[in-house]
Structure 1
Amino acid sequence: MEIELKTVEENKVASISHVGPVEEMSELISELTRWVIEKGLQITQPPFVAYYTSPMEVSPEKMEYEVGIPFKGSTDGDVKVKIKIMPKHKTISTIFKGPYSEIGPIYAEMMQHTMKRKYEIIGAPREVYLNNPCDVPENELLTEVIFPVIDLGNCENPENVNIAENPEITIEEDSYTISPIGYAKRNGMNAFLEINNKYVHGLKELDNFSHVMVLWLADKIENTGYPNILQMYPPYALDKLTGVFATRAEYRPNPIAVTTCKILDVNEEKGTITVANLDAIDGTPIIDLKPYMPSFDRVKEPKIPKWLSFLWPEWVH
């Protein structure tokens, strides 16, 4: 299997979000194709589906995904069809030939590739359907599997960051000491937090929450000059000039990151928390944990730029 690192250019996309079995996808693609044609728009690329949940984590009826068709032209969306922007970003991708039902192992191989090459996945995986199941037999179907990524292997080299401005900033004399409470650990595709013995008692009752906010230190880039960067083209939108405080990129005045993770298991005796959706690499220092509380941490009508709308879903379950 050949896996390529590529740059995807910005595209305008018509999309339909859906929760339900993946077998309903083909009907949604047909519906969206008719909508685009009726609007007099030019379809520029094959249809794709971005998957926001995994069949390994949820039941078929709770699968959350979004069907998209890139196009040229001008139009507004409606109640069901939304117009979004797929930003310029880097991906790894491979072509799978065969029935859709046999594509699962490709994802495992792609995950292994990301860990081996030190890539970080920065958005939802997607499948591009390069031919039509009505036109070819199952064993001739072609599907491009795509993971949006950044290259963590080059994170210590400032020249690999697309910097727009790098003004001289005088570092203040005041300083503070932060002591890790534990470290992120990875075992294949599984992630967990290993808490230091002296902090283990702080885990009491955490297992009664569904999610935890993990504050971690991006220590691999702590001393590389990134504190001076105020504007950049973030890795998930390579053509968007963004102030550091309007991006989630790790290149910050203080290299502190936060990820809200689903709690899968809490073992107070061993001092471990098994989590999903953790984007910290193996060995990353954990500096604090806070339980996710909807009344404080969720807003009713959030707004994000259109060019972020395909990399992450509105809600993560």
Structure 2
Amino acid sequence: MKIESKTIEEKQVASISHIGPVENMRDLIGELISWVMKKRLEITGPPFVVYYTSPMEVAPEKMEYDVGIPFQGKITDEGKVSVKILPQHHVLSTIHQGPYQQVGSVYGMMMEHIFKEGYEIIGVPREIYMNSPGEVPESELLTEIQFPIIPESIMKDADLSIEFFNLKQNTESYNIYKIGEVKLENSKTYLKILEPYRPAIKNLVDFSHVMVFWWADKFASDRYRTALRTKLPYATNRQSGVFATRSEYRPNPIALTTCRIIEVDEKGGIIEISGMDAFEGTPVIDLKPYSPSFDRVKEPKIPKWLSFLWPQWKGEY
């Protein structure tokens, strides 16, 4: 199996979001193709599916995915069909030949390759269907599998993507205290709270999620604090101000991750969590319980070129 890194050029896609068995995919693809043809638009590539959940984690009726097809032409959203922009980005790609039911093992080999080579995954996987069961026997079906990634070479040359400014720093300052740190052990993630602050985690276990505020200490130098614009690793043909990104490059390198709480040891000051995107030893500066009354937005808006990475709302099961 050949695995390669390549650049995907920007393209416009029509898509339908769906929650249900993957067997519904064929009808959805047919519906999309009919919609594009009815609008007299030009199809510019094969259909694809973006998976937001895994059949290993959720029941078939709870599978969440988008079906899409690239096209050219001017048109807006209509009914359940959304028009999105797939920006220029990097992917790790391989082609599987054979029945769709055998594609699961390919994902495992790709994940092993990603960890071995030091890639960073920045989005959910896609399957591109280069032919169909109506055209060829099952043994000749070709499915391209793509993982959006940041190549290790780009991460090493991160400064090349940053635009630094000559700032006259404000002399007014405030104290921030480290309350703990991130610990990674045996594929699990923990917050180790310093002893003086452990009384503050009383009753945290009653919440399902916690918002972890952490100090991006690897980017806390005076130089990185003058980085105000950066090229986006998930849209390499675009640049944004850092306040329009989740980048660690910012005047004050404060990061925020909302994590599921798995277990809380109040006496030992250990909080087991999932979904943390920080390094071993990263300083933790604050914790706040997640409350849907205050922290969830009912109708959020994101750029069309960002919507291919994640759906507007991804539930947890």
TM-score, normalised to structure 2's length?
0.88
Deviations for 1:24-79, whole angstroms, at most 9, x for unmatched residues? Answer: 11111111111111111111111111111122322111111111101111112212
C-alpha distance in 2 between matches for 1:113 and 1:180 = 36
The secondary structure found in structure 2 opposite 1:306 is: coil
Give the CA RMSD over aligned residues. Answer: 2.4
For residue 104 of structure 1, what is the aligned residue in structure 2?
A: 104
The secondary structure found in structure 2 opposite 1:290 is: strand
1:32 maps to amino acid? L
- Cα 1:283–1:129, aligned 2, differ >3 Å: closer, same or farther? farther
2:129 maps to amino acid? Y
C-alpha distance in 2 between matches for 1:127 and 1:270 = 45
Instruction: State percent identity of aligned pairs.
Output: 53
C-alpha distance in 2 between matches for 1:283 and 1:139 = 49
2:85 maps to amino acid? I
Alpha-carbon offset, residue 158 of structure 1: 4.2
The secondary structure found in structure 1 opposite 2:24 is: helix
The secondary structure found in structure 1 opposite 2:37 is: helix
> Is 1:233 the counterpart of 2:231 in the alignment?
yes
For residue 205 of structure 1, what is the aligned residue in structure 2?
A: 203
- Unaligned stretches of 5+ residues in structure 1: none
- Cα 1:273–1:120, aligned 2, differ >3 Å: closer, same or farther? farther
For residue 310 of structure 1, what is the aligned residue in structure 2?
A: 308
1:104 maps to amino acid? G
1:22 maps to amino acid? V
- Cα 1:155–1:180, aligned 2, differ >3 Å: closer, same or farther? farther
For residue 183 of structure 1, what is the aligned residue in structure 2?
A: 182
For residue 285 of structure 1, what is the aligned residue in structure 2?
A: 283
For residue 258 of structure 2, what is the aligned residue in structure 1?
A: 260
For residue 50 of structure 1, what is the aligned residue in structure 2?
A: 50
2:190 maps to amino acid? L
- Unaligned stretches of 5+ residues in structure 2: none
Q: Does the Cα contact within 8 Å between 1:191 and 1:278 map onto a contact in 2?
A: no
Q: Does the Cα contact within 8 Å between 1:180 and 1:286 map onto a contact in 2?
A: yes
- Cα 1:309–1:109, aligned 2, differ >3 Å: closer, same or farther? same
Deviations for 1:93-114, whole angstroms, at most 9, x for unmatched residues? Answer: 2222222222223223333333
For residue 193 of structure 1, what is the aligned residue in structure 2?
A: 190
Alpha-carbon offset, residue 176 of structure 1: 3.3
C-alpha distance in 2 between matches for 1:217 and 1:153 = 25
**Bigger-Rg structure (1/2):** 2
- Cα 1:116–1:81, aligned 2, differ >3 Å: closer, same or farther? same
1:74 maps to amino acid? K
Q: Does the Cα contact within 8 Å between 1:127 and 1:146 map onto a contact in 2?
A: yes
- Cα 1:209–1:56, aligned 2, differ >3 Å: closer, same or farther? farther
Alpha-carbon offset, residue 200 of structure 1: 4.8
TM-score, normalised to structure 1's length?
0.88
